[in-house]
Chains A and B, each alone.
Chain A
Amino acid sequence: MLLQIAWRNIWRNPLRSGVVITAVVLGLWAVIFMLAFSFGMTESRTRDILETQISHIQLHNHKFEREDPGRFFLEDGTQIMEDLENDPATIEATSRYLANAILNSTKGRKGTYPVQLLGVNSEKEAKVTSLEDRIIYGTYLSNPGRRIPEIIMGKRLAENVGVLKEDSLGNWEFDPKRKLTLNNIVLADGSNAAIRVKVVGIYKAQNSALEALQVFMNKEDLLGKLNIEGEIHEIAVLLENGKLTAKSKKDSIKNVLLAQGKDTKVESWNEIAPEIEMIDKQFDSSMRIMIGVILLALGFGIVNTMLMAILERTRELGMLMSIGMNKRKVFSMVMLETMLLTMLGAPIGIFLSYLSIWFSSRTGIDLSGLDTQSMSEFGMSSILYPALPLNYYLEITVMVVIAALISSIFPAFRAIRLRPAEAVRAI
């Protein structure tokens, strides 16, 4: 009967209860949707970085250094590449020849630009880093074997070296006939080389720092011009469900290679770019703090409402204690009322947020009205797809229950501290 009384008590003042329930609904909807928004943002950013830049796993010589990537070749790289391509967990793998180089510009912003030259299999690279899809001016790399090798470069680098020029109307104009010289190409033996190249296309990258740094070229052309046999510095692998499986897959690849006596550096995405995981975790922590703050505010609202309800029902509570309702039952009844009030709003709020997230995850939220330039500096896309894994809903439900329990304690204590002889005569 306590539950029955608690339930009916809630509806004694439908307006007040309605306001509290609405506050719970809106509060939860806002916090969950915001969580999904942030989660979608970090997930999309991470996915973009993994699928366009670093992939899930990278393999290098164990002495590999990012500052001087061309120095050490991957031991038995071709065989490792073949094995990885045959691995069922692999979606796609690509091998690269890497070298630091210098690009001198006599047009555009005149100067010397350090670049990272990547000799790639254009077909495989397109699949691993979506490079072909990211071409915004000109064309993708065609078949190797041209007299003057083709390269593609990022938009920012193209602006710097004057391959991409802005006319008086503010339109960008790409000069496909532009030929450049890649100087100071640092080779494995420490010697330098230079190649004359033709820019055939400009790509866009989420990360504008990479956009100003990386230059892609057919590996066959590069090795041919440098008179080097088929060597590999780097293998990048995309895996099925790779964000989650990369860590364990990395260990198994490493173990297999060790068993073959190869001391190869195998790194998963979180080791290559630990800042991605760190940012994910920071986003997660800040969202939890935000949930806490919103639930705290809701909790205070609920406490206030329940204290008012108790003040109005002082005489009734006095009567209940007079006729023999013990403190435990009075406490439980007030707690039940508070819990019911919260729990009525919570499922509606959670369901509404689920619907909103479901809908917006299909349509996407267009943020192009915002400062997309600075968003892309952080590797973020201008179309955001909110998403939230189910375990977050469960966590939020548990947090709401805890918040409701905590909010109910103070009013319940106030109720049992009433003195029945005085309370029963309260006006």
Chain B
Amino acid sequence: MSIIKTKNLRKTYYGVVPVNAVNGVNLEIQKGEFTAIVGPSGSGKTTLLNIIGGLDKATGGNVWVGDQDISQLTNNELIDFRLNNIGFVFQAYNLIPVLTAKENVEFVMLLQKRSKEEREARTKELLEAVGLGELVDKRPSHMSGGQQQRVAVARALAPKPTFILADEPTANLDSQSTANLLDIMADLNRKENVTFLFSTHDQRVIDRARRVITLEDGMIVKDERREIQNA
């Protein structure tokens, strides 16, 4: 069953010269996929992820997440939709600097109005799953980049989303941190069937993806599925 589906998706930026950032993309992502969207700068990766994630509106075409055509939702409906259906991991981690690791993870569930017991239990479980059980009370400024990005992954998973969108998640990490993060995400994907959709330039991420979609000039030029031994 496809959890993400786009049909003839288009996004045009109207400047002095109109630019088709996304140009007729038809795409289906199945539950449990570990997919990387790759392509050169300006190929439309981020724009495509933004539209799929409900952060930006398409100029034409449709996006379905499950049965919901999110192209039809208002901005306020999209905020609620994102809260309950999509987990985000950003290139620059983007944690709330004044909150501890634990509070950062808990915050999304608080927005969902989950009970205190449920929040605490899930926060503990997720931080242990990303290997940060001992750093729960540390603020982002006292953590390394890799640790911060692992908190960001735990936060993305906290609301029990339909899928996780990760925009260049390893761009600011060193090799060891990248390897650790990829291990954790692959593990979550394999064991808990969490769906990941990345945009990346990083060959180390591409090497671990089971599906690689290549974009050029806003169009899919290659869609490759493969078996990965350690994924």
B96 touches A324 (CB 8 A): no
A319 to B53, CA, bound (A): 13
Determine whether the beta carbon of B97 is less than 8 Å from that of A12: yes
Q: A253 at the A/B interface (Cβ < 8 Å)? A: no
Residues of B within 8 A of A325 (CB): 79, 83, 111
Distance in angstroms between the alpha carbons of A9 and B111 in the assembled complex: 18
**Would A319 and B90 be within 8 Å (CB), given that A324-B79, A324-B83, A326-B80 are in contact?**
yes
Q: What CA separation (Å) do A327 and B155 show in the bound complex? A: 20
Contacts of B111 in A (CB 8 A): 323-326, 329
Q: Is A420 an interface residue (CB 8 A)?
A: yes
Selecting from B63-71, B102-110, B195-203, B211-219, the interface stretch reads B102-110
Q: Verify if A281 is at the interface (C-beta below 8 Å from B).
A: no
* B98 and A323 within 8 A (CB): no
Report whether A8 and B108 are in contact in the complex, using a CB–CB cutoff of 8 Å: no
Chain A residues in 8 Å Cβ range of B112: 324
A324-B80, A325-B111, A329-B111 known; A5 and B98 CB under 8 Å? yes
Known contacts A1-B103, A420-B55: A9-B83 contact under CB 8 Å: no
Q: How many residues on chain B are close to A (CB under 8 Å)? A: 26
Within 8 A of B (CB), among A287-330: 315-316, 318-327, 329
Kindly name the residue among A8, A322, A323, A424 whose own CB sees the greatest number of chain B CB atoms within 10 A: A323
Residue A383, interface by CB 8 Å = no
**A322 and B82 contact, CB distance less than 8 A:** yes
Q: Looking at the complex, which one of B56, B90, B94, B159 makes contact with A324 (CB distance below 8 Å)?
A: B159
Given contacts A1-B107, A8-B98, A319-B90, contact A324 B50 (CB under 8 A): no
Residue in B50, B53, B79 with the greatest tally of chain A CB atoms within 10 Å: B79
Q: Are A322 and B88 in contact (CB under 8 A)?
A: yes
Interface centre among A9, A320, A322 (most CB of B within 10 A): A322
**Are the C-beta atoms of B92 and A421 separated by less than 8 Å?**
no
Residue of B nearest to A318 (CB): B94
In the complex formed, the residue of A with least CB distance to B98 is A8
Q: Per-residue CB proximity of A1-34 to B under 8 Å, as 1/0? A: 1000100110010000000000000000000000
* Distance of A319 Cα from B112 Cα, bound (Å): 16
Measured in the bound complex, the distance between the Cα atoms of B97 and A5 in whole Å is 10
Expressed in whole angstroms, the minimum distance between the Cβ of A422 and any Cβ of chain B is 9
A424 to B107, CA, bound (A): 18
B84 touches A (CB below 8 Å): yes
In the bound complex, what is the Cα–Cα distance between A275 and B90 (angstroms)?
A: 71
Contact mask A342-364 → B, CB, 8 Å, 1/0?
A: 00000000000000000000000
Chain A min CB distance to B148 (Å): 12
B76 within 8 A of A: yes
Q: A420 CA to B54 CA in the complex, in Å?
A: 10
A-B contact pairs, 19 of them (CB 8 A): A1-B103, A1-B110, A5-B99, A12-B98, A318-B94, A320-B96, A323-B83, A323-B108, A324-B79, A324-B84, A324-B108, A325-B83, A325-B111, A326-B80, A326-B111, A327-B76, A327-B79, A329-B111, A420-B55
A interface residues, Cβ below 8 angstroms from B = 1, 5, 8-9, 12, 315-316, 318-327, 329, 420-421, 424
Q: Which 5 A-B pairs have the closest CB atoms?
A: A324-B83, A8-B98, A319-B94, A421-B55, A421-B56
